[in-house]
Chains A and B, each alone.
Chain A
């Protein structure tokens, strides 16, 4: 069971207080998008063994959505950050590079 720190209320939340929300930083495609882009948005998800970016909600707490950068193999958490960004913060990317040299995730790394 993971512990993730909610970046909004500062609680180091138990996994039972959180809800998982799938992959982070998806770009929405709506009407007018071609089939391929829309399919990618709707269905194509990363499933890495290693560095991953996820969405979580502090559902039993302050109710806020946030992002977590973590390692799905070692369960190391590189950091959590607010959901109102479309790319991870630089300091978290730096932390990941130090821990996992040569990592790649979508077009990051």
Chain B
């Protein structure tokens, strides 16, 4: 393997909230019937997690598992382990009609954190991000400004955000604008 670099190359911005590149992350798209035993087995093999509920993210010591749609999960794992995980998942799937494919390089992962993180994201995404509506482990696929993104709340004060690699700089850019000093809304 030759030198791999993330799209944002470790970028970091500190304003109302901290916006930072999470670096390379292993990601595997798993499509299939989420209630099928083989798919559950593959998800577990890939992430160490059981299939989460609708619009939830779950974490284990092996990785994380995100509910993306009624027939799609996203496995997160260390970047270097993707090959082995895909192989394990493929083996677990056996003859089941499903798809497990490495998408680690197709995406960028960012973290948005700090007490004002909800407010910063709410400037860009048409989602109810109030604490009563969006809690730890909740995941949403939506829009960040003009591009598609998925994000979930890792802990009370930090979001993990996934977007396409080609627009990583754009997403970082709009988050920077939204987190500009002096722009606190004071709503949440």
Instruction: Indicate yes or no for A touching B, C-beta below 8 A.
Output: yes
Residues on A close to B: CB < 8 A? 8-11, 14, 16-17, 59-64
Which of chain B's residues have a CB closer than 8 A to the CB of A64? 69-70
Least CB distance from A80 to B in Å reads 14
Complex CA distance for A1 and B72, rounded to whole angstroms: 28
Contact between B142 and A9, CB atoms less than 8 A apart? no
Complex CA distance for A16 and B140, rounded to whole angstroms: 15
Which of chain B's residues have a CB closer than 8 A to the CB of A62? 68-70, 72, 141
Contact between B70 and A8, CB atoms less than 8 A apart? yes
Contact between A8 and B140, CB atoms less than 8 A apart? no
Contact of A10 among B55, B68, B72, B148 (CB under 8 A): B55
Known contacts A8-B69, A8-B70, A9-B69; is-contact A60 B54 (Cβ 8 Å)? no
Contact between B126 and A17, CB atoms less than 8 A apart? yes
Question: How many residues from B make CB contacts under 8 Å with A?
Answer: 13
Answer yes or no: B143 CB below 8 A from chain A CBs.
Answer: yes
Which of chain A's residues have a CB closer than 8 A to the CB of B127? 14
**Complex interface bits, B105-128 against A, C-beta within 8 A gives 1, otherwise 0:** 000000000000000000000110
Which of chain A's residues have a CB closer than 8 A to the CB of B142? 11, 17, 60-61
Contact between A60 and B143, CB atoms less than 8 A apart? yes
Least CB distance from A10 to B in Å reads 6
Which of chain B's residues have a CB closer than 8 A to the CB of A10? 54-55
**Complex interface bits, B34-78 against A, C-beta within 8 A gives 1, otherwise 0:** 000000000000000000001100000000000011101000000
Least CB distance from B153 to A in Å reads 16
Contact between A16 and B143, CB atoms less than 8 A apart? yes
Which of chain B's residues have a CB closer than 8 A to the CB of A14? 126-127
Known contacts A9-B54, A9-B55, A60-B148; is-contact A17 B143 (Cβ 8 Å)? yes
